[in-house]
């Protein structure tokens, strides 16, 4: 099995790197497992406020599951297990309480597209190409992946993406709402870094509360955890950061948030 999930820290921002460039960052079984482990490390690190997910090299974000493992029976083990159960193969990313940005260039296909959908924000270079080609392989796609796709682009666009299995340009992805913004490839890195720093300067408890509430609002109303949502709001109002935010506003200065 090849590839790994790299991890880098730059102050309050951390990077998760899909590192398998010789196969356009195809996601091996081991990489699926490592995703969750790295996400847990970053989730526990209070110094990390924003996480960026990107592919190594210049050719791809991720070209999907490593198809070379399919014939050998691996079929990217974490994904294969999820196909036959209620498990969410993208859960390793979806449990992050911190904002997650997908930094997308080149190929963003199959399971790679699913990973991008698990992010909170998706920024793409103008060379990005999107597709979910499961129908060309004859394999079922995880329920969690299709659920995220529908939540992001709606049923009509989700069906077009999945049924045609064709490749969509970055401009088409933007029109569908699949990405938040498309930039020239040379500008993407600086834009994502600046956006991550802007987010990291905001109150961590407020960001965590909002991410929790957004996740709950995506669920069936009968299943939403209203107590958790209200508790997260209360934690913000009782925090040191809220007092700091009010003081900074009155003093006409930038607040200095600590996450407490």
In this predicted structure, the answer to whether residue 239 has a pLDDT above a threshold of 90 is: yes
Closest CA to 140 of 110, 107, 173: 110
* Burial grade of 97 (CB within 10 A; 0-12, 13-18, 19 or more): middle
H-helix or E-strand containing 250?
helix 240-251
**Mean of per-residue pLDDT scores for the chain:** 91
Q: Read off the pLDDT of each residue in 31-60 and give the average, rounded to a whole number.
A: 94
pLDDT for position 79: 52
pLDDT for position 75: 46
Instruction: Encode pLDDT of 108-134 as tens digits.
Output: 999 999 999 999 999 999 999 999 999
Model pTM score: 0.91
Q: Are 146 and 121 in contact (CB under 8 A)?
A: no
Q: Read off the pLDDT of each residue in 217-230 and give the average, rounded to a whole number.
A: 94
Q: Read off the pLDDT of each residue in 172-197 and give the average, rounded to a whole number.
A: 98
Other CB atoms within 10 A of residue 238 CB = 11
pLDDT for position 54: 98
In the three-class reduction of DSSP (H, G, I as helix; E, B as strand; rest coil), residue 112 is classed as helix
Strand order in the sheet with 129-131: 60-62, 107-109, 129-131, 168-169
pLDDT for position 73: 52
Instruction: Encode pLDDT of 49-69 as tens digits.
Output: 999 999 999 999 999 887 666
């Amino acid at each position: 099995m090849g590839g790994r999930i790299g991890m880098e820290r730059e102050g309050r921002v951390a990077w998760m790197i899909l590192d398998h460039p010789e196969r356009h960052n195809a996601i091996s079984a081991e990489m699926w497992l490592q995703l969750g482990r790295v996400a847990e490390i970053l989730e526990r690190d209070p110094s990390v406020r924003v996480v960026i997910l990107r592919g190594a090299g210049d050719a791809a974000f991720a070209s999907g599951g490593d198809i070379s493992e399919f014939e050998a029976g691996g079929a990217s083990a974490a994904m294969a297990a999820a196909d036959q159960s209620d498990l969410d193969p993208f859960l390793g990313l979806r449990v992050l309480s911190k904002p997650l940005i997908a930094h997308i260039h080149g190929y963003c296909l199959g399971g790679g597209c699913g990973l991008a959908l698990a992010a909170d924000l998706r920024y793409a270079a103008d060379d990005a190409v999107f597709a979910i080609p499961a129908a060309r392989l004859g394999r079922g796609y995880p329920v969690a992946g299709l659920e995220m796709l529908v939540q992001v682009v709606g049923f009509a666009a989700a069906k077009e993406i999945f049924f045609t299995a064709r490749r969509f340009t970055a401009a088409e992805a933007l029109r569908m709402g699949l990405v938040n913004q498309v930039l020239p490839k040379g500008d993407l890195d600086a834009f994502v870094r600046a956006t991550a720093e802007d987010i990291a300067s905001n109150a961590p408890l407020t960001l965590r509360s909002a991410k929790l509430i957004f996740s709950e609002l995506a669920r069936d109303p009968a299943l939403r955890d209203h107590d958790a949502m209200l508790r997260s709001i209360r934690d913000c109002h009782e925090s040191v950061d809220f007092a700091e935010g009010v003081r900074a506003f009155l003093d006409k200065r930038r607040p200095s948030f600590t996450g407490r």
